């Protein structure tokens, strides 16, 4: 239950890919390790690994690549998995709670980011960056590319996110992902393509028709969907990243110490950090790369297919934006529009 179960309003929907949870439901389990409690514990297999259940192996939550990280050691893989949890939690918290975010200036001294911004501009899009960092304490960035040209049929907007101990890396990650979406828009948004506007428009009034990743991304490209993005753009002037995250990045002589500090911070927020190895022998033995799945019950997970959305029981969504000063009060869940992300 702490994982956040699918929202009950879609129980029984034909597109729902889960079964209702009950304590006597038989599930397959694997071992994970709680970094918070420093002990082994059981984790549902379909939470630890992506898409393993068959027709006779039920799952109670929809999982994707939430918390998956790759590294040169198991420790580094866990650290990057935790960054992935923080990225998605920060974005979804801002999206579902409709909270404005402080703007971050595109760093003029970072040639990689400025090249990405210039590339977007050549295609008619303006890159805007936002500080989405929340109570998890990991610098998180939301990137937005909005169309500024004159073509009436151009995709209007794309969103992405990034998180990292070093805010500059989070910025690069968010910028690279959103500009990649802009770059491939001509192919994917063409008539008959996966993001054909005519196919997507019914989803504005029927969010349950949003079934996969292309539907989620494509919906935000429609002109009619643009008011849903306006909440982001508060009238705050963009500030340099060094002002948004003063004192960062701290030097990291020891990844173990960095991970331990992150785990302790989350424990202070009542959140447990759990890791499961996802090592693939060939990648590990031949390339020296390790993979881990990090699970932080209580954080907001990315789901695809609107009817698989998981916000039930995740009270941080209602409490943290107000605590951070981004909302005037803690809303009731029924007050949130919960548009497809």
Instruction: Give the model confidence (pLDDT) of 47-63 as tens digits.
Output: 999 876 566 788 999 89
**DSSP letters spanning 28-75:** -EEEEEETTTTEEEEEEHHHHSTT---TTS--SS---STTEEEESSHH
CA of 159: how far to CAs of 31, 176, 182, in Å?
35, 11, 10
How far is it, in rounded angstroms, from Cα 314 to Cα 295? 14
Identify the pLDDT of residue 199: 94
* pLDDT score of 235 more than 90: no
Identify the pLDDT of residue 53: 56
How far is it, in rounded angstroms, from Cα 99 to Cα 76? 32
The vertex-115 CA angle with 111 and 118, nearest 5°, equals 140
The whole-model pTM stands at 0.95
Identify the pLDDT of residue 191: 83
Query: Looking up tokens 């428009």, which residue turns up?
Result: 201
Instruction: Give the model confidence (pLDDT) of 10-48 as tens digits.
Output: 999 999 989 999 999 999 999 999 999 999 999 999 999
Identify the pLDDT of residue 220: 95
The region of weakest confidence among 22-31, 56-65, 211-220, 263-272 is 56-65
* pLDDT score of 298 more than 80: yes
Q: Does residue 120 contact residue 127 with C-beta atoms inside 8 Å?
A: yes
Identify the pLDDT of residue 192: 83
28: left (phi over 0), alpha (psi -120 to 50) or beta: beta
- The DSSP secondary-structure symbol of 301 reads P
Q: Which residues have CB under 8 Å from 254's CB, separation 6+?
A: none
* pLDDT score of 272 more than 80: yes
């Amino acid at each position: 239950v702490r994982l956040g179960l699918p929202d009950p309003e879609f129980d029984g929907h034909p597109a729902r890919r889960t079964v209702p949870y009950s304590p006597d439901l038989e599930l397959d389990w694997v071992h994970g390790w709680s970094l918070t409690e420093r002990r082994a514990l059981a984790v549902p297999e379909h939470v630890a690994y992506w898409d393993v259940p068959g027709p006779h192996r039920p799952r109670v939550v929809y999982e994707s690549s939430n918390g998956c990280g790759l590294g040169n050691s198991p420790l580094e893989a866990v650290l990057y998995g935790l960054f992935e949890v923080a990225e998605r939690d920060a974005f979804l918290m801002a999206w579902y709670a409709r909270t404005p975010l402080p703007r971050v200036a595109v760093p003029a001294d970072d040639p990689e980011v400025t090249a990405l911004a210039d590339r977007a501009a050549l295609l008619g899009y303006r890159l805007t960056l936002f500080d989405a960092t929340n109570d998890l304490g990991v610098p998180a960035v939301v990137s937005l590319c909005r169309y500024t040209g004159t073509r009436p049929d151009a995709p209007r907007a794309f969103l992405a996110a990034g998180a990292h101990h070093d805010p500059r890396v989070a910025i690069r990650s968010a910028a690279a992902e959103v500009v990649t979406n802009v770059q491939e828009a001509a192919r994917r948004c063409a008539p008959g393509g996966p993001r054909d506007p005519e196919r997507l428009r019914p989803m504005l009034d029927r969010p349950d028709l949003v079934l996969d990743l292309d539907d989620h991304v494509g919906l935000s490209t429609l002109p009619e969907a643009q008011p849903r993005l306006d909440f982001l753009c508060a009238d705050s002037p963009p500030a340099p990243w060094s002002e948004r995250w003063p004192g960062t990045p701290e030097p990291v002589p020891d990844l173990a110490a960095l991970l331990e500090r992150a785990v302790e911070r989350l424990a202070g927020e009542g959140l447990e950090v759990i890791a499961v190895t996802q090592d693939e022998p060939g990648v590990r033995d031949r390339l020296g790369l390790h993979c881990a799945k990090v699970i932080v019950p209580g954080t907001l997970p990315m789901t695809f297919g609107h009817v698989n959305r998981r916000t039930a029981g995740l009270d941080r969504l209602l409490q943290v934006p107000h605590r951070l000063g981004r909302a005037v009060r803690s809303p009731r869940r029924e007050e949130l529009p919960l548009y497809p992300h």
